[in-house]
Amino acid sequence: MKNQLYVKDQLVRCSICGQIATQDQYGNGECKNCGWKFSKDEEMLEKKAGISYPMLVTPTTAREQYRQGKPFKATFNEFVNGLYFYSEMLFEYNSEVYEVFLKANKNSKSNDDCYIVFCSKNFQQEYTSRKEFENKANINGVLLKDMWDKIENPSFMYCD
């Protein structure tokens, strides 16, 4: 039996499209009209970390994508923000899954002290800083930031 604590039975306005959405008692919900999934903390997460949960794409970006009739998809910057918030990210390109994660240096005290591992089953790249990752991460010589429109399903790592 489904846990009754998480039943989405409260009606609210979707923060993206303005239509009626449902949420649970904790403020987590979804909109059947536009597909937005939200938490009560989405605006705070956008201000604090440049992300949202569970969608990763920020509400500001989502509103613009909705207005343009585009599907929700995190920008490259939101993806990197997610990396520094959650430490582990995924995306797909040409039917291959790619992982990006932070790995602690020996004396790391924060995510800023970590290095970045970018890998798939066929390769691995390592970067010493966010800036280096943003400016050098590539697939077959094409910078990740320049091919972002071809990237699919950028998201947090998750377990099924």
pLDDT tens readout for residues 110-124: 556 789 999 999 999
* Alpha-carbon dihedral sign for residues 136, 140, 141, 145: negative
pLDDT of residue 108: 57
Indicate the domain borders of the chain.
Answer: 8-67, 76-156
What is the pTM for the complete model shown? 0.89
Identity of residue 116: I
- The closest alpha carbon to 147, from 79, 55, 86, 81, belongs to 79
pLDDT tens readout for residues 59-76: 999 999 999 999 999 999
